[in-house]
């Protein structure tokens, strides 16, 4: 095994953020009062980690603005579900509308932030998140392409590398594309990275990681602006999860 491969193997064994911690870090990117759409997977966990002092209005592409927590057992109403078919509740000030208006909001630049999962992101911010090449079955686009095209700010939450060790942040996506040059920020289990006109800028690294180590697991060049701080996660208070 060449030296670099040995080194990478060791890197892959280093502790990283959990999926919940990625969500917790991404939650800090949401401004108070923002209208926000959360996609499947890690982004869906973000609702559990909102700082207590802010209110965010969650949008669902099936026509809800102001989604609250998930319904408790016995409280479920299957006419009030999120985009993952999970029964939800509404917060005061919520509204309901049809699917065309829901996507007018996504496409027309009305949502402040959208957070999606992804298989690959390119150094130009191209997003590939709807289909794995060669996967069985039809696949499905859902609302991802409308959301990618229109959100004012698009954040991607994902693991930094694929299960097989392949980089997910790449020079050019090889997976089927969802949208071109649409990603603004990536929050991974290793780093926070901004997609800028000059390329990918490493803003923060996970505790115990150096920018050089993160670069080794990234398929496109990262630049830095001065010292790169570690990702700081506020302590989660017990009970906060359920009440939000």
Partner 1 sequence: MKKKVYSSLDEVVADVPDGARVMFGGFGGAGFPNNLIQALVRKGVKNITAISNNCGTRDGELGLMFKHNQIKHVIASFPGPHANHFQERFAAREVTLELVPQGILCERMRAAAAGLQGFYTTVGVGTEVADGKEERVLDGKRCILEMPIHADYAFIKAQKADELGNLTYRLAARNFNPIMAMAANTTIAEAEELVPVGSINPVHVMTPAIFVHRIVQAKGLHYAG
Q: Which is nearer to partner 1, 119 or 209 (CB)?
A: 119
Q: How far is the CB of 208 from partner 1 (least distance, A)?
A: 37
140 is a contact residue toward partner 1 (CB under 8 A): yes
Q: Residues touching partner 1: how many (CB under 8 A)? A: 42
236 is a contact residue toward partner 1 (CB under 8 A): no
d(CA 9, CA 244): 39
235 is a contact residue toward partner 1 (CB under 8 A): no
207 is a contact residue toward partner 1 (CB under 8 A): no
Number of residues written out for the chain: 244
- Please identify, among the stretches 10-18, 76-84, 151-159, 230-238, the one whose residues bind partner 1 according to the rule CB under 8 A: 76-84
Which residues, 102 to 121, sit near partner 1 by CB under 8 A? 102-104, 106-107
Q: How far is the CB of 56 from partner 1 (least distance, A)?
A: 19
In 28-170, where does DSSP find H-type helix? 42-45, 99-107, 144-150
- Please identify, among the stretches 12-20, 60-68, 155-163, 187-195, the one whose residues bind partner 1 according to the rule CB under 8 A: 60-68
d(CA 209, CA 186): 17
Tracing tokens 């209208």 back to the chain, one arrives at: 35
41 is a contact residue toward partner 1 (CB under 8 A): no
Q: How far is the CB of 148 from partner 1 (least distance, A)?
A: 8
171 is a contact residue toward partner 1 (CB under 8 A): no
Which residues, 1 to 40, sit near partner 1 by CB under 8 A? none
Q: Which is nearer to partner 1, 24 or 106 (CB)?
A: 106
Consecutive H or E run containing 34: none
Strand order in the sheet with 120-122: 127-128, 120-122, 169-170
- CA-nearest of 43, 17, 16, 42 to 30 is 43
Cβ contacts of 210-217, under 8 Å, gap ≥ 24: 213/11, 213/14, 214/160, 214/190, 216/4, 216/7, 216/8, 216/11, 217/8, 217/11, 217/12, 217/160, 217/161, 217/167, 217/190
Q: Which is nearer to partner 1, 19 or 103 (CB)?
A: 103
d(CA 87, CA 20): 21
Q: How far is the CB of 129 from partner 1 (least distance, A)?
A: 11
Question: Contact residues for partner 1 (CB under 8 A)?
Answer: 60-64, 77-81, 83-85, 96-100, 102-104, 106-107, 126, 136-146, 149-150, 176-180
């Amino acid at each position: 095994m060449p030296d670099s491969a040995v080194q990478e193997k060791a890197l892959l064994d280093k502790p990283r953020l959990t999926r919940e911690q990625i969500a917790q870090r991404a939650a800090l990117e949401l401004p108070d009062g923002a209208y926000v759409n959360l996609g499947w997977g890690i982004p869906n966990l973000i609702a559990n980690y909102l700082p207590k002092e802010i209110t965010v209005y969650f949008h669902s592409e099936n026509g809800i603005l102001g989604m609250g927590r998930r319904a408790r057992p016995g409280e479920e109403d299957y006419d009030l579900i999120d985009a993952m078919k999970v029964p939800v509740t509404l917060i005061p000030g919520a509204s309901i509308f049809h699917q065309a208006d829901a996507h007018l909001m996504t496409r027309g630049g009305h949502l402040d932030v959208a957070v999606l999962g992804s298989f690959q992101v390119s150094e130009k911010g191209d997003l590939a998140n709807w289909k794995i090449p060669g996967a069985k079955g039809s696949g499905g686009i859902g609302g991802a392409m409308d959301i990618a095209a229109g959100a004012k700010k698009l954040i991607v939450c994902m693991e930094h590398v694929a299960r097989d060790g392949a980089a997910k942040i790449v020079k050019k996506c090889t997976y089927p594309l969802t949208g071109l040059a649409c990603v603004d920020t990536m929050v991974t289990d290793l780093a926070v990275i901004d997609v800028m006109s000059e390329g990918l800028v490493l803003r923060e690294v996970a505790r115990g990681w150096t920018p050089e180590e993160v670069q080794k697991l990234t398929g496109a060049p990262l630049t830095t602006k001065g010292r790169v701080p570690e990702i700081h996660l506020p302590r989660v208070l017990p009970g906060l999860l359920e009440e939000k």
